[in-house]
Chain A
Amino acid sequence: MPSLLSKQHIVAPPNFNRWLIPPCALATHLCIGQAYAISVFNLPLTQQLGIKESLAADWKLTQLGWIFTIAIFFLGASAAVFGKWVNAQGPRMSGLVAALCWGAGFLIGALGIQLHNIWLVYLGYGVLGGCGLGIGYITPVSTLISWFPDRRGMATGMAIMGFGGGALVASPLSVLLMKQFASPTSTGVAQTWLVLGLVYLLVMSAGAFGYRVPAPGWTPQGWVPSPAKPGALMAKFDVTPGRAITTKQFWCLWVVLCFNVTAGIGVLGQASAMIQEVFKGTINAGAAAGFVGLLSLFNMGGRFFWASLSDKIGRKATYACFFVLGPALYALVPLSGQLGSVVLFVACFCVILTMYGGGFATIPAYLADVFGTKYVGAVHGRLLTAWSVAGILGPVLVNYLREFQIQSGIPKYQAYNVTMYIMAALLVIAFFANLAIKPVAEQLTEREPQAGGRPVTA
């Protein structure tokens, strides 16, 4: 008898409504999306001992920055390492494991904050939480694609939109909880992490138990897969994860994701400081916080918009839009600063952020098109190492270049210009990587005998 957590136990009955699946995916992603709101704890954590001010023994921002970096690193690493396991076990098991890792990460992190032990926080939120991030991120992908073969982009876009939305929920919720728990002897952060950990564990577990997989051979009523045109990217057969990473197509997609994320992630992290420095005297801290909020909204909306649009115009065309529009917008940013146009500056970054989110949300459907649906979860997991790299490359490019420019005598309001041009250049490179993606040779798919595993040149 299949165990309660196995894939075999959760085959959907014949009258199951597939629209019950996206809420489960959203439940997972809304929780793990909290990672983008971790910076709301930065200031209180630098005053954990002093409460109203930082003492010498309090943690510095540079130490706290590593919490997020470690988590994103382990997001990519765990998705790559456990992707095959996630694919094999099914969404209920992997969803529950993700819930346990993410929730326990908060609880151990809370203990670290209470004991003022930063290494415990790194271990808890960074390592364990990071694993929860990675496993949770890829858990719903192949399930959604199998339930919505007619709308792969829209389906995965909905789930990954949840990741963007998670920060919108977590940020005000964290502020509310910290206010509730703060006292003359406590910033309230440890208690907030305790509550968040328990809530996320509960919500993600509920989502995990809601997943069902379609019965073998199930397709949506009335849907007939359109015959693949010659040379079209729609895979007729599946490529195993081990074989996929030996293909040129995989590494082109890796560059596409890495550079798209790099271009956006550095901006996201510095958005508040950037707008205040470029428009000094015009934009204050409150308005800058509003700018960051606006970017989050466009990041979230872009995930659903571009991924759904990709169902109509194709994945390759969608990324082509990113890599034509993106460089133009990045190149416009220095001009907007010179013109003193806040509207142009804000508009450029809002569109850029839609494409940042859209890049994440459309990639699972792109992978399914290129490598088939059977192993898409595992292949997606391996591709997410691109996010880990971008998570380091993006902030380094933005921050270190800015410092170098300022030390070279460039005024602060112009210190981001070179970075913008470099981001534009990265997107041009990604354009060509996207252009180079062609169908995978049939001898590398499961239909045909394996051909020794050499890289494909097709």
Chain B
Amino acid sequence: MVNPSQPRVGAHSSTMPPRMPDSRPAPEASAPGGGQLMVLVLSWAAVGLPLAWGVMETLRKTLALFQ
């Protein structure tokens, strides 16, 4: 839990070896590498497409209410 009154803890645990300051942009701000972008797209497609199909099938059924 982040406590605003304490100094912010760095992104690495204290058991990890010290590192040079990371000059790369933080994960969210940077354009993800091609591999990770592909995984991101595929994971969202894997859950999004079945969900979209289910929504479309349900919308077809709901049309009967308006006829």
Residues of A within 8 A of B (CB): 14-20, 23-24, 26-27, 30, 149, 162, 165, 168-173, 210, 215-222, 224-228, 235-238, 283, 286-291, 293-294, 296-297, 300, 346, 372-374
| Inter-subunit contact A218/B11 (CB<8 Å) | yes
| Inter-subunit contact A16/B27 (CB<8 Å) | yes
Residue of A216, A238, A374 with highest tally of chain B CB at under 10 A: A216
Partner of A14, one of B12, B14, B39, B54: B12
Determine whether B20 belongs to the interface, using a CB cutoff of 8 Å to chain A.
no
| Inter-subunit contact B3/A236 (CB<8 Å) | yes
For B, the interface residue count at a CB cutoff of 8 angstroms equals 43
| Min distance, Cβ A234 to any Cβ of chain B, angstroms | 10
Chain B contacts of A288 at CB under 8 A?
65
In the complex with contacts A217-B10, A291-B65, A373-B1, A17-B27 CB distance below 8 A: yes
| Inter-subunit contact B1/A169 (CB<8 Å) | no
Residues of B within 8 A of A (CB): 1-5, 8-14, 22, 24, 26-30, 32-33, 36, 39-40, 43-44, 46-47, 50-51, 53-55, 57-59, 61-67
| Complex Cα–Cα for A162 and B40 (A) | 18
| Inter-subunit contact A215/B54 (CB<8 Å) | no
| Inter-subunit contact A168/B54 (CB<8 Å) | yes
| Complex Cα–Cα for A169 and B52 (A) | 9
Q: Which 4 A-B pairs have the closest CB atoms?
A: A217-B9, A221-B26, A290-B65, A168-B54
| Inter-subunit contact A289/B4 (CB<8 Å) | no
| Complex Cα–Cα for A24 and B5 (A) | 33
In the complex with contacts A216-B9, A290-B63, A297-B58, A162-B43 CB distance below 8 A: no
| Min distance, Cβ A266 to any Cβ of chain B, angstroms | 21
| 29 A-B contact pairs sorted by A residue (CB < 8 Å) | A14-B22, A15-B24, A15-B30, A15-B33, A18-B28, A26-B47, A162-B51, A165-B54, A168-B55, A168-B57, A169-B51, A169-B53, A215-B11, A215-B13, A217-B11, A219-B8, A221-B26, A225-B4, A226-B4, A235-B1, A236-B3, A237-B3, A283-B65, A287-B65, A290-B61, A290-B65, A290-B66, A293-B61, A374-B1
| Complex Cα–Cα for A283 and B11 (A) | 59
Which of chain B's residues has its CB closest to A238's CB?
Answer: B1
| Min distance, Cβ B67 to any Cβ of chain A, angstroms | 7
In the complex with contacts A17-B32, A217-B12, A23-B64 CB distance below 8 A: no
